[in-house]
Amino acid sequence: MVAGLELLDDGTHVPLDVKKENLQPNRVFCIVHEPTKSIYLWKGSKAGVRKQLAGALAATEIRLEQGTKFRVRAIDQGEEPAAFLNSL
């Protein structure tokens, strides 16, 4: 479980403790992972374009807050790297 943001259909986001069980096809999350200096933008396979765009904007904002050492890493459902899954 890790703290992150869930992106909603209206473009807003809510803080959420993200678990593997939360990774559902219609959802989008931004997750900051300190050890790898990564901001994961996880996109469910059935998430709408608006929600995905809101996620990309939120990830960019988070990167500006965290600093340039952080990198945004977009992840599509089903293509999750081990480092991402291990962070949850």
Q: pLDDT, tens digit, for every residue of 18-73?
A: 899 999 999 999 999 888 899 999 999 999 999 999 999 999 999 999 998 999 99
**pTM over 0.95, yes/no:** no
The 10s digit of each residue's pLDDT in 1-15 is: 577 899 988 878 899
pLDDT, residue 45, reads 97
- pLDDT number for residue 11: 78
Which amino acid, one-letter code, is at 44?
A: G
Q: What is the pLDDT of residue 1?
A: 56
Q: Can you say how many angstroms the Cα of residue 46 is from the centroid of all Cα atoms in its chain?
A: 15
The dihedral sign for the CA sequence 24, 25, 29, 35? positive
CB neighbours of residue 23 within 10 Å: 18
CA distance 52 to 42: 9
